[in-house]
Chains A and B, each alone.
Chain A
Amino acid sequence: GDSVTQMEGPVTLSEEAFLTINCTYTATGYPSLFWYVQYPGEGLQLLLKATKADDKGSNKGFEATYRKETTSFHLEKGSVQVSDSAVYFCALSAAGIFGNEKLTFGTGTRLTIIP
């Protein structure tokens, strides 16, 4: 079945550091790839997505590129801020029965940014 492997946390960085959170996937067919973020006390929010190979998703200074050859979708940000402290989830969706495009999530990476 489909699966997502995500870099284990927690990750602690200083403000303005460079961030990479690794994500690789296994899927049949051509999945769409997502990064969701969960800020403290809040619900899951879509951060960015990519729907086909070589697409780059970007939002709030975060980027991730859909790499089919390495089955990866690593999240990067050039200069993190304290406000980026959250839990980040990599996820994929692929068409299933009855059009079910359920999300398959990684385990999540807790990111803490120190001023």
Chain B
Amino acid sequence: GAGVSQSPSNKVTEKGKDVELRCDPISGHTALYWYRQSLGQGLEFLIYFQGNSAPDKSGLPSDRFSAERTGGSVSTLTIQRTQQEDSAVYLCASIKRRTQETQYFGPGTRLLVL
């Protein structure tokens, strides 16, 4: 399909472990976003990538969270030393251009930290 894909779809981990979440944006989309959907906080922005520019990391909740985007395409969100409050659905979205364009969302990765 031509949509945004994310993997894994579900991840269960133990507190203190590191996890990596992957996002494959729609081909040709230059910008990519990560969001988090949790019961306590709703849907919140995490990080934004646009082409080869420096990412906007202003939404990352702590320094345990990091993300990279290789070759302007695939992105990986890494959470180090996971905590129970990190349990949420992590959503990735991509857009073709940055001005008033629709963001297309992937199905999300549901993370459960035990």
Query: Which residues of the partner chain B approach A91 to less than 8 Å between Cβ atoms?
Result: 43
Known: A89-B43, A103-B35, A108-B42. A97 touches B56 (CB 8 A): yes
For the residues of B in contact with A, the DSSP-based class is strand
Q: Assess the B42–A107 pair: CB atoms within 8 A.
A: yes
Besides A36-B105, A107-B42, 8 more A-B contacts (Cβ < 8 Å) are: A43-B108, A97-B56, A98-B53, A100-B50, A101-B99, A103-B35, A103-B43, A103-B45
Q: Assess the B105–A108 pair: CB atoms within 8 A.
A: no
Q: Bin chain A's interface residue count.
A: 20 to 34
CB < 8 Å: which of A45, A93, A108 contacts B43? A108
Q: Residue A115 at the B interface, CB < 8 A?
A: no
Q: Assess the A51–B56 pair: CB atoms within 8 A.
A: no
